[in-house]
């Protein structure tokens, strides 16, 4: 059983990586995986640089857009599940490892951070976060989960900060820009908060009521991360193995029914089904 939030607050000091890094997809995935090897829960915030497509561990590489397969648009396979997600370089990417309750509790922490920005959100009992508008719900963040070999849970995903490159997303998702704009929102549509303000709000949401300490990656840790990044960059990892399915764009699976998921207390009353 996962530890309760009270146990985490009393027994462990969460590690927060203070630097907001801009790194490519291979380094991003390697850093996220490395967090699962630490002996305390850990949080990092970063940006994909350049804009990158990530796709879940069971997505068939052959179903990716041609420009991903040729390398025109960078792509990386996650070890977590889920579908195809375009990470604009303006998106704020978060990763938190060692979280209880199958990782879903981290969504409540993220929502707490968005509350601090004045943005009211809901979840769909899955791993997506939405803002309700006059024409329905639009997605503002998407996440995926991963259980490491040591059984530690990683929750990672991206918060849409600024207006994305809808023309690129149209090519990647094979969905019209008009349809994408009906399904996606971003922080700057709701507030003029700077990136620094958003970083702090997310850290406050994640660390609220929990002990934490700021500690950057050491040189020794970066050496391990760079070795992991080489694995993510390999052709074997990109193509994957086992039972693979045709990947779908995350933004078109907005209101998929996740009612069977057991929600942590932090998400009760905060779903799209509660209104």
pLDDT for position 7: 52
pLDDT tens digit sequence for 33-66: 999 999 999 999 999 999 999 999 999 998 899 9
Dist. CA 158–CA 141, nearest whole Å: 6
pLDDT for position 206: 87
CB 126 within 8 A of CB 256: yes
| Average pLDDT over every residue of 79-97 | 93
Collect all residues with Cβ–Cβ distance below 8 Å to 67 and sequence separation of at least 6.
Answer: 73, 171, 172
| Average pLDDT over every residue of 109-124 | 95
Dist. CA 100–CA 199, nearest whole Å: 23
| Average pLDDT over every residue of 148-154 | 89
pLDDT for position 251: 58
pLDDT for position 10: 46
pTM: 0.91
pLDDT at residue 2 above 50?
A: no
pLDDT tens digit sequence for 214-269: 999 999 999 999 999 999 999 999 999 876 777 666 655 444 555 566 788 888 89
Mean pLDDT of the chain: 88
The confidence band for 71, taking pLDDT boundaries of 50, 70 and 90, is very high
| Average pLDDT over every residue of 14-29 | 97
Report the 10 Å Cβ neighbour count for 2.
Answer: 15
Length of the chain: 275
CB 169 within 8 A of CB 158: no
Closest CA to 20 of 43, 42, 45: 45
The confidence band for 15, taking pLDDT boundaries of 50, 70 and 90, is very high
Structural domains of the chain ordered from first start:
5-274 (3.30.930.10)
Structure-token pair, residue 246 = 């045709």
| HEC string for 34-87 | HHCCCCCCEEEEEEECCCEEEECCCECHHHCCHHHHCCCCCEEECCCCCCEEEE
């Amino acid at each position: 059983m996962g530890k309760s939030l009270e146990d985490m607050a009393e027994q462990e000091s969460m590690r927060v990586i203070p630097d907001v890094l801009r790194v490519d997809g291979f380094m991003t995935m390697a850093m996220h995986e490395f967090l699962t090897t630490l002996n305390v829960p850990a949080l990092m915030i970063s940006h994909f640089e350049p804009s990158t497509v990530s796709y879940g561990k069971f997505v068939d590489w052959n179903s990716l857009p041609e420009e991903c397969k040729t390398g025109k648009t960078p792509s990386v396979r996650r070890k977590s599940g889920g579908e195809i997600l375009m990470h604009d370089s303006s998106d704020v990417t978060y990763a938190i490892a060692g979280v209880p309750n199958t990782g879903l509790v981290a969504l409540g922490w993220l929502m707490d951070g968005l509350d601090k920005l004045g943005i009211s959100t809901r979840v769909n009992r899955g791993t997506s976060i939405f803002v309700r508008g006059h024409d329905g719900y639009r997605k503002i963040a998407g996440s995926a989960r991963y259980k490491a070999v040591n059984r530690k849970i990683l929750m990672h995903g991206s918060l849409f900060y600024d207006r994305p490159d809808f023309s690129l997303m149209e090519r990647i998702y094979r969905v019209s820009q008009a349809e994408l704009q009906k399904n996606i929102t971003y922080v700057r549509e709701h507030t003029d908060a700077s990136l620094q303000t958003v970083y702090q709000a997310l850290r406050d949401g994640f660390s609220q009521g929990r002990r934490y300490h700021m500690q950057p990656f050491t040189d020794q840790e970066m050496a391990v991360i760079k070795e992991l990044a080489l694995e993510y960059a390999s052709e074997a990892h990109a193509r994957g193995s086992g039972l693979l399915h045709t990947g779908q764009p995350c933004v078109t699976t907005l209101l998929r029914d996740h009612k069977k998921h057991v929600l942590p207390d932090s998400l009760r009353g905060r779903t799209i089904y509660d209104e």
